[in-house]
Amino acid sequence: MATENLFISSLQNQKVKQLVLLQQKSSERRKSDQFVVEGLRELRHCVSKGYEIESLFFCRSLLGESIDDLIVSQSYEVTPQVYEKIAYRDSTEGVVAVMRMKHMHLENLPLSEHPLIVVLESVEKPGNLGAVLRSADAAGADAVIVCDPLTDLYNPNLIRASIGALFTVPTVAASSEECIRYLKARGIRILTAQLQDSKLYYDTDMCCGTAIVMGTEATGLTNQWREAADAHIRIPMLGQLDSLNVSVSAAILLFEAVRQRMGSR
């Protein structure tokens, strides 16, 4: 494929300014239907799941491996100074790409016969959501559903924290009402993680279709989810604090589901 492969040396270049704007402003991401991915590992995960590279920016002196498989019609070599401006991370591999968004809906989620789903209600911190996605990928979860999100799914911090798991695990944003209706219609058991009126998580069957639902450490889940639950589960807390980081809780509960399912084979 023929490429422009232009060279950009000016920090005032319009494409550079637009890329930085996409990184910084969720409103710009929504308006343009684009987002930014930085790093070879994340970018290759993204491309492998069918995302389209709109434009590619690379700094030849920082590249550690060939990117011939990633070159598109709008590819731009940049100076180290320009790359420093467009790079979001401290450590970098010399590649940043502007990607076209994909819009997935609940009805399009590819579910297995006995799906394992993580549901997060109003989780605000992109780093927490990214870490949950990594655990969901490691546990082979079918999907992550983010209800009433307080951050957009293409936030650069989220992509960075997930190290590309945002692209390997089907992830959807929806309202809590929509999600509850979706799970109930498919007979997927709703397990809410909460301290009150709950039993220990390892005493709860997770071999059937299961949705593990968690809220924030500060406020927990709303009554809407507590009332919709088929069971309430908790992780035993033996110290003086009464909660774990949501990403740690997600990992514990997901791998209990994996343990049960492997034992039932």
Residue 6 near residue 76 (C-beta atoms within 8 A): yes
| Size of the chain in residues | 265
Q: Could you give phi then psi for residue 45, rounded to 5 degrees?
A: -60, -45
Q: Which residues pair with 56 in a beta bridge?
A: 75, 97
Q: Which residues pair with 8 in a beta bridge?
A: 78
Find the farthest-apart pair of alpha carbons in the chain and give their distance in angstroms, rounded. 63
List Cβ neighbours of 32 (8 Å cut-off, separation of 6 or more).
Answer: 22
Kindly list the structural domains of the chain, giving each domain's residue range(s) and its CATH number in brackets, ordered by start. Answer: 6-100 (3.30.1330.30), 106-263 (3.40.1280.10)
pLDDT at 263: 85
pLDDT at 217: 72
Looking up tokens 């809590």 gives 176
Q: Could you give phi then psi for residue 202, rounded to 5 degrees?
A: -80, -5
pLDDT at 1: 35
**Closest among 262, 244, 253, 263 to 212, alpha carbons compared:** 253
The helix/strand/coil state of 146 is: strand
pLDDT at 129: 95
Please report, for residues 132, 142, 254, the alpha-carbon distance to residue 139 in angstroms, rounded to integers and kept in the order given.
Answer: 11, 9, 6
pLDDT tens, position by position, for the chain (265 residues)? 344 458 999 999 999 999 999 999 999 999 999 999 999 999 999 999 999 999 999 999 999 899 999 999 999 999 999 999 999 876 668 999 999 999 899 999 999 999 999 999 998 899 999 999 999 999 999 999 999 888 899 999 999 999 999 999 999 999 999 999 999 999 999 999 998 899 999 999 999 999 999 998 777 899 999 999 999 999 999 999 888 899 999 999 999 999 999 987 6
